[in-house]
A and B are shown apart, each in its own frame.
Chain A
């Protein structure tokens, strides 16, 4: 019986543990120093806003681990002795392993700003960060957030829920515009401002200014403005947390270097989740994948590689989601911020909080979808993209992808109308209906919409 040790009890490590257990009776130990039990990092914001308690963010009840013979060790790994195959823990104990899986996640980026280590200045990634945020924001009335990504807007929403005045500094000229096309990005800009958040675009952080007690007094922008505040959120992305690998002989660059089987340079050492950096291959540059979904897929894929078929990890058709305050966002396939050679059909609701974008290539083959304030069906979009369906094909049966709740207003007709206006020679007729019913009618042979994610 092998001894599998996993460092990190986030979604990557825990998913690996669960799937290894499904496939084998080997001994499984998961070491985590953040919390005793696995919780959902994506729900950190909801704890702060009072939507949920910490207990409710745990996806499994506490008895689950013992029942599934997954040993949880609440400790911190200080050093990996890859020669002896032994871990040295903060509690002075050691733990030996046969296979080691590193799933240590990320740390918030800091770019050497002056004042970045003052009290009241922090990122948001871990439970400890959340606890710090609770202390740092108690009783304050002004905050500044630096960095225009997903954590930034979540932090803004969190602070607003406590009635704290928020200024949001975004270096780019529009929110998240390295990912979102201009229209979606502009929609989020408007939505942020509608929520009473002071959005400052094209604004860089110059320095964070201290008060007399080691706390923060204000930030100074690149333009020289001073914004007084008692809290600064640094949300300019995250980087792999690889401190544990120092001096172990495990090769790292940005993250732990792995191939597409998650294998590090040393035998029996693997890395998954945010902390893994896939080495460059012929087709691709080296890259990290820092999403909840990819971490989960890594965990499941590694279990299959170790205990099933040794098949290279393939991320498949990209998908992601987020929520910008009240606007849900889903994306499937390829939707670049700048289209460059691709075309797109974009429709926006007059209310300005819903939009649909379908991206296609010169052969009219659909490559991706962006949805703002509208829900589409993952498997249907994925199927259309995989099968390289054309825009007319997709538009005719667009209702099949509709995943909005019953009685919601439907906008397939508007999208088809806007296509017809642009392409009168290819005018289309929408098949009525939506969701499950239309889906069945179109593909009677598919008996289920199987999802195994």
Chain B
């Protein structure tokens, strides 16, 4: 059958007006940094951690930042989506698969073959000692790379959306929470001999925070540890529902959460790859609520087991939580969630797997003041909103009918509103009764 539309034009190898020399220099430096980093896996830099750190992380980050900054002159402030559908990187061509394999492979090594990364953690020693007062381990390596990705690609978002204050503030927010709440604060807590604790992750995303073992450790610890225990309970059962009632799930998913933060920054080039079909929505509803059920049952079993002092359920609940940790915590959230960015879009985990998103979504769908309002009859059905919805919501289907968008999965990133060429969509909070369904 004849294809309709246009073929990828062969002469579009790059956008001439992007600051190419600067971008190329940046990418070259990034490449060198990456190469040094990988060579370090052999232990070649074992005795010179500072040098290794500067040549790999320093050079790589500086190069990446330079490449990102080159985009600032790309065009006037405004939506910059030219050529996205022609980009092999952003359309599941070979390069996308290569990057997908690299991302996925990294997670496999991190979770199941940590020894292979042992020498590379050395590059993170100087930073780790500065923050935590001890040598780096693989999780510090992961956390630091993650934070660098959010910060550098966050700068890219700040440039890309410099015309939109919502996008600017939201991006600064996820950069802040990643740098401070995910990297700095947990590190400092360790420096001062306190439990490592992430104040911006809650049960059931951080599923062990309401496990009986974890809570009993916290409540038997220092005053700060006791506060952490209270925080874990209060935020999960009171904070989350109240904030979601007022602002929708976006207050968390696209402003605070680390998974969301990575999706909104590193994942942004691939946001258009989410599947918008009705069948994908069906799968999504079963899957995400299935994971939530799994998490609830697991936590419940652990508490029963704890109440009965291990008499009945001993190994069962333990096995349950181990299975969950492997399947959901590692496989889904990490390997698939991030590894498949270039193939399935940036929110695979958030959309299909995150139990926190499931809870926030249920509240958002039924009890929240949040909605995306459609501006009367101004929709032209162009489809930019649906195309760039990272959660795979067919926004246009609602907009062209003049209906509000009230969907459990919407993380309120606001990109549909930003890309709409007719100003039709607006993220709003208002009385629940005024939402049109």
Q: Quick one: CB contact mask for A353-382 with B, threshold 8 Å, 1 for yes? A: 000000000000000000000010111001
Task: Give the contacts of A3-17 with B (CB-CB under 8 A).
Answer: 11
Does the CB pair A375–B426 fall under 8 Å? Answer: yes
Residues of the A chain whose Cβ atoms lie less than 8 Å from the Cβ of B396: 59
Residues of the A chain whose Cβ atoms lie less than 8 Å from the Cβ of B386: 56
Does the CB pair B6–A131 fall under 8 Å? Answer: yes
B-binding segment of A99-107, A178-186, A444-452: A444-452
Does the CB pair B382–A50 fall under 8 Å? Answer: no
Kindly identify which residue among B4, B164, B383, B427 contacts A43, using a CB–CB cutoff of 8 Å.
Answer: B383
- In the complex, whether A330 has a CB less than 8 A from a CB of chain B is yes
- In the complex, whether A341 has a CB less than 8 A from a CB of chain B is no
Residues of the A chain whose Cβ atoms lie less than 8 Å from the Cβ of B383: 40, 43, 46, 52, 56-59
Kindly identify which residue among A293, A326, A406 contacts B76, using a CB–CB cutoff of 8 Å.
Answer: A326
Smallest beta-carbon distance A423→chain B, Å = 29
Q: Quick one: CB contact mask for B1-26 with A, threshold 8 Å, 1 for yes? A: 00111110101100111000000000
Kindly identify which residue among A47, A54, A59 contacts B400, using a CB–CB cutoff of 8 Å.
Answer: A59
- In the complex, whether A195 has a CB less than 8 A from a CB of chain B is yes
Complex Cα spacing A319 to B278, Å: 32
Residues of the A chain whose Cβ atoms lie less than 8 Å from the Cβ of B376: 319, 377-379, 382, 451, 453
Contacts A436-B373, A448-B434 given; indicate if A130 touches B166 (C-beta within 8 A).
no
Does the CB pair B278–A61 fall under 8 Å? Answer: yes
- In the complex, whether B381 has a CB less than 8 A from a CB of chain A is yes
Does the CB pair A451–B402 fall under 8 Å? Answer: yes
Kindly identify which residue among A50, A321, A452 contacts B86, using a CB–CB cutoff of 8 Å.
Answer: A50
Q: Quick one: CB contact mask for A426-453 with B, threshold 8 Å, 1 for yes? A: 0000000001110010000001111111
Residues of the A chain whose Cβ atoms lie less than 8 Å from the Cβ of B79: 326
Does the CB pair A53–B423 fall under 8 Å? Answer: no
- In the complex, whether A285 has a CB less than 8 A from a CB of chain B is no
Does the CB pair A292–B380 fall under 8 Å? Answer: yes
Task: Give the contacts of B163-219 with A (CB-CB under 8 A).
Answer: 163-166, 169
- In the complex, whether A226 has a CB less than 8 A from a CB of chain B is no
- In the complex, whether B115 has a CB less than 8 A from a CB of chain A is no
Query: What bracket does the count of chain B residues touching chain A fall in?
Result: 35 or more
- In the complex, whether B418 has a CB less than 8 A from a CB of chain A is yes
Kindly identify which residue among A163, A194, A406, A449 contacts B166, using a CB–CB cutoff of 8 Å.
Answer: A406
Complex Cα spacing A332 to B436, Å: 23
Complex Cα spacing A55 to B383, Å: 10
Does the CB pair B430–A440 fall under 8 Å? Answer: yes
Contacts A43-B382, A48-B6, A50-B82 given; indicate if A405 touches B434 (C-beta within 8 A).
no
Residues of the A chain whose Cβ atoms lie less than 8 Å from the Cβ of B95: none
Smallest beta-carbon distance A404→chain B, Å = 8
Tell me the nearest residue of chain A to B402, going by C-beta. Answer: A451
Q: Quick one: CB contact mask for A374-413 with B, threshold 8 Å, 1 for yes? A: 0101110010000000000000000000011111110000
Does the CB pair A435–B9 fall under 8 Å? Answer: no
Kindly identify which residue among B16, B81, B414 contacts A49, using a CB–CB cutoff of 8 Å.
Answer: B81
Residues of the B chain whose Cβ atoms lie less than 8 Å from the Cβ of A379: 376
- In the complex, whether B306 has a CB less than 8 A from a CB of chain A is no
Task: Give the contacts of B15-50 with A (CB-CB under 8 A).
Answer: 15-17
Task: Give the contacts of B404-435 with A (CB-CB under 8 A).
Answer: 414, 417-418, 421-423, 426-431, 433-434
Kindly identify which residue among A47, A58, A195, A377 contacts B6, using a CB–CB cutoff of 8 Å.
Answer: A47
Smallest beta-carbon distance A386→chain B, Å = 13
- In the complex, whether A42 has a CB less than 8 A from a CB of chain B is yes
Residue of B82, B84, B386, B430 with most partner-chain A CB within 10 A: B82
Complex Cα spacing A354 to B427, Å: 21
Smallest beta-carbon distance B23→chain A, Å = 16
Task: Give the contacts of A103-135 with B (CB-CB under 8 A).
Answer: 127, 130-131, 134
Contacts A40-B380, A40-B381, A436-B430 given; indicate if A51 touches B85 (C-beta within 8 A).
yes
Residues of the A chain whose Cβ atoms lie less than 8 Å from the Cβ of B278: 61
Residues of the B chain whose Cβ atoms lie less than 8 Å from the Cβ of A321: 378, 380, 422-423
Does the CB pair A435–B428 fall under 8 Å? Answer: yes
Does the CB pair A378–B377 fall under 8 Å? Answer: yes
Kindly identify which residue among B379, B421, B426, B436 contacts A435, using a CB–CB cutoff of 8 Å.
Answer: B426
Tell me the nearest residue of chain A to B168, going by C-beta. Answer: A407
Residues of the B chain whose Cβ atoms lie less than 8 Å from the Cβ of A42: 380-382
Does the CB pair B5–A50 fall under 8 Å? Answer: no
Tell me the nearest residue of chain A to B431, going by C-beta. Answer: A440
Q: Quick one: CB contact mask for B245-276 with A, threshold 8 Å, 1 for yes? A: 00000000000000000000000000000000
Contacts A40-B382, A377-B376, A451-B402 given; indicate if A323 touches B5 (C-beta within 8 A).
no
Complex Cα spacing A56 to B91, Å: 13
Residues of the B chain whose Cβ atoms lie less than 8 Å from the Cβ of A292: 380-381
Q: How many A-B residue pairs have CB under 8 A?
A: 182
Residues of the B chain whose Cβ atoms lie less than 8 Å from the Cβ of A319: 376-378
Task: Give the contacts of A128-145 with B (CB-CB under 8 A).
Answer: 130-131, 134, 138-139
- In the complex, whether A35 has a CB less than 8 A from a CB of chain B is yes
- In the complex, whether A79 has a CB less than 8 A from a CB of chain B is no
Does the CB pair B165–A409 fall under 8 Å? Answer: yes
Complex Cα spacing A451 to B375, Å: 8
Does the CB pair A328–B423 fall under 8 Å? Answer: yes
Residues of the A chain whose Cβ atoms lie less than 8 Å from the Cβ of B9: 134, 138, 162
- In the complex, whether A422 has a CB less than 8 A from a CB of chain B is no
Tell me the nearest residue of chain B to A42, going by C-beta. Answer: B380
Q: Quick one: CB contact mask for A147-173 with B, threshold 8 Å, 1 for yes? A: 000000000000001110000000000
Does the CB pair B82–A56 fall under 8 Å? Answer: no
Residues of the B chain whose Cβ atoms lie less than 8 Å from the Cβ of A194: 76
Residues of the A chain whose Cβ atoms lie less than 8 Å from the Cβ of B163: 326
Q: Quick one: CB contact mask for A323-334 with B, threshold 8 Å, 1 for yes? A: 101101010000
Does the CB pair B373–A50 fall under 8 Å? Answer: no
Does the CB pair A138–B11 fall under 8 Å? Answer: yes
Tell me the nearest residue of chain A to B81, going by C-beta. Answer: A51
Residues of the B chain whose Cβ atoms lie less than 8 Å from the Cβ of A36: 4
Residue of A11, A139, A162 with most partner-chain B CB within 10 A: A162
Residue of B417, B422, B434 with most partner-chain A CB within 10 A: B422
Residues of the B chain whose Cβ atoms lie less than 8 Å from the Cβ of A404: 423, 426
Residues of the B chain whose Cβ atoms lie less than 8 Å from the Cβ of A52: 85, 382-384, 387
- In the complex, whether B78 has a CB less than 8 A from a CB of chain A is yes
Smallest beta-carbon distance A445→chain B, Å = 12
Tell me the nearest residue of chain A to B376, going by C-beta. Answer: A378
- In the complex, whether B239 has a CB less than 8 A from a CB of chain A is no
Complex Cα spacing A138 to B163, Å: 32
Kindly identify which residue among A51, A377, A447, A448 contacts B82, using a CB–CB cutoff of 8 Å.
Answer: A51
Does the CB pair B429–A54 fall under 8 Å? Answer: no
Does the CB pair A134–B7 fall under 8 Å? Answer: yes
Does the CB pair B78–A326 fall under 8 Å? Answer: yes
Complex Cα spacing A141 to B380, Å: 31
Contacts A35-B4, A330-B423 given; indicate if A453 touches B428 (C-beta within 8 A).
no
Smallest beta-carbon distance A17→chain B, Å = 15
- In the complex, whether B94 has a CB less than 8 A from a CB of chain A is no
Does the CB pair A378–B375 fall under 8 Å? Answer: yes
Q: Quick one: CB contact mask for B361-396 with A, threshold 8 Å, 1 for yes? A: 000000000000111111111111011000000001
Nearest 5 pairs between A and B by C-beta?
A378-B376, A453-B377, A54-B5, A451-B402, A326-B78
Jot down 25 A-B pairs with beta carbons below 8 A, ordered by A: A40-B383, A43-B380, A43-B382, A47-B85, A48-B6, A50-B83, A50-B85, A51-B384, A53-B85, A57-B383, A61-B278, A161-B82, A375-B375, A375-B423, A404-B423, A405-B166, A405-B426, A405-B427, A406-B166, A436-B430, A436-B434, A440-B430, A451-B376, A451-B377, A453-B402
The chain A residues found within 8 Å of chain B, CB to CB, are: 11, 35-36, 40, 42-43, 46-59, 61, 127, 130-131, 134, 138-139, 161-163, 194-195, 292-293, 296-297, 319, 321-323, 325-326, 328, 330, 375, 377-379, 382, 403-409, 435-437, 440, 447-453
Having A50-B12, A51-B387, one finds 20 other A-B pairs with CB under 8 Å, namely A11-B381, A35-B4, A42-B382, A43-B384, A47-B5, A51-B384, A52-B387, A59-B400, A130-B6, A162-B12, A319-B376, A319-B377, A330-B378, A378-B376, A403-B423, A405-B166, A406-B428, A408-B165, A435-B430, A440-B434
